[in-house]
Amino acid sequence: MAFVLPVPPMQDLKLKLQQSTLVSPAKQTEKKNFFLSNIDQMLNFDVPTVHFFKANPDFPPETVAKSLKMALERVLVRYDFLAGRFKLNLQSGRLEIDCNSAGMGFVVATSECLLDELGDFAYPNLGFRQLAIRTLDNLGPEVDQPLCVTQLTSFKCGGFSIGLSTNHVLLDGVSAQNFIENLATQAFDDKPLAIFPCNDRHLLAARSPPHVEFPHPEFFKPDLPAGQSKGEYRFYHTKITVLSVVAALIWRCKALANYTEYNKDRVSTLLNVVDLRSRLNPPLPNFILRQRSASCLFVGNM
């Protein structure tokens, strides 16, 4: 039986672009090369997020747009790397960020739709990609695209959305949340940052020369064919965690969905992301702006 959404998602949000520009820090910032760790080098992809707000007569779209742009200019003083551009260090062969204040993208758009017409926000909707665009079309070919774009979209009902499209190299999930909290504080004249960010990526720099202390099976193909093992394993009663239950359920659903007589020996991998802040020695601060995750892995037959 097919699953039916409560309200069919709307694909065409009927957007009209009102403004597309670059926003730079409110104050002059230091021009520097921003170091990126090995984890940063690997996780180079875009992450769009959208936040929806109901209509509020105290915050019409024009006021929101003005306040949001001002807040971006202020917060970029501490997050100057968001206004920079990627570049390759020819000496080290590593990717880094040129903190040159080239600017973050800022887009203002309007929609002829009502928020209630968009469907249930708890379900994925490909139409939401229109609310967090990745590039600015009005930039010439000689101008590098911004690493981060903020988009304000107002709807016919008075509600609005704020979309943030950023490269994962810049912010992971937690640090993106911290950035949004800090952005909100800068919309007011008398409020300090909610969380003072730590921008030092050297805290996650790899050792030189490399020194591997633990096996990393996620990077290697299993030596044995599927279904075979070198050892005998016995399982005893242990404390069952919520993580174990959820992982087992996902594994079972995936197995049932993929199983056929032609792929009975298919090897699959289940990865789980773990926050490493408190697990490192010494622990990292919660407000460090970078990936602090690791992948826990299980490989086996579906």
CA distances (Å), origin 182, targets 27, 59, 73, 188, 242: 17, 19, 12, 11, 32
In the chain the domains, ranked by start, together with CATH numbers, are 15-204 (3.30.559.10), 236-301 (no CATH)
In this predicted structure, what is the pLDDT of residue 64? 94
Contact 153, 163 (CB under 8 A): yes
CA distances (Å), origin 218, targets 172, 215, 276, 297: 21, 9, 17, 6
Which has the closest alpha carbon to 79: 97, 106, 52?
A: 97
Give start and end residues of each alpha helix (H) in the chain. Answer: 38-42, 61-75, 173-185, 242-258
* Per-residue burial over 216-250, b = 16 or more CB atoms within 10 Å of its CB, e = otherwise: eeeeeeeeeeeeeeeeeeeeeeeeeeeeeeeeeee
Q: What is the rounded CA–CA span in Å between residue 216 and residue 295?
A: 10
In this predicted structure, what is the pLDDT of residue 247? 86
- Omega within 30 of 0 (cis) for the link into 282: yes
In this predicted structure, what is the pLDDT of residue 297? 47
Contacts of 100 (CB under 8 A, 6+ apart): 31, 83, 84, 85
In this predicted structure, what is the pLDDT of residue 302? 46
In this predicted structure, what is the pLDDT of residue 6? 58
Joined together, the tokens standing for residue 251 give: 């594994």
For residue 32, list its beta bridge partners. 99
Phi-psi region of 103 (alpha: psi -120 to 50; beta: other; left: phi over 0): left
Q: HSE-up of 65 (CA within 13 Å, CB side)?
A: 17
In this predicted structure, what is the pLDDT of residue 292? 47
In this predicted structure, what is the pLDDT of residue 208? 81
Q: What is the rounded CA–CA span in Å between residue 77 and residue 165?
A: 19
Query: How far does CA 184 lie from the centroid of its chain?
Result: 18
CA distances (Å), origin 72, targets 2, 90, 166, 199: 44, 32, 14, 17
Q: What is the pLDDT along the chain (302 residues), one digit of tens a residue?
A: 445 555 666 778 999 999 999 999 999 999 999 999 888 888 888 999 999 999 999 999 899 999 999 999 999 999 999 999 999 999 988 999 999 999 999 999 999 999 988 888 888 788 999 999 999 988 878 889 999 999 999 999 999 999 999 998 999 888 899 999 999 999 988 789 998 888 888 777 888 888 888 887 766 766 666 556 556 556 666 788 888 888 889 888 888 887 777 666 777 777 777 777 777 777 776 555 544 444 444 555 54
Model confidence, pTM: 0.78
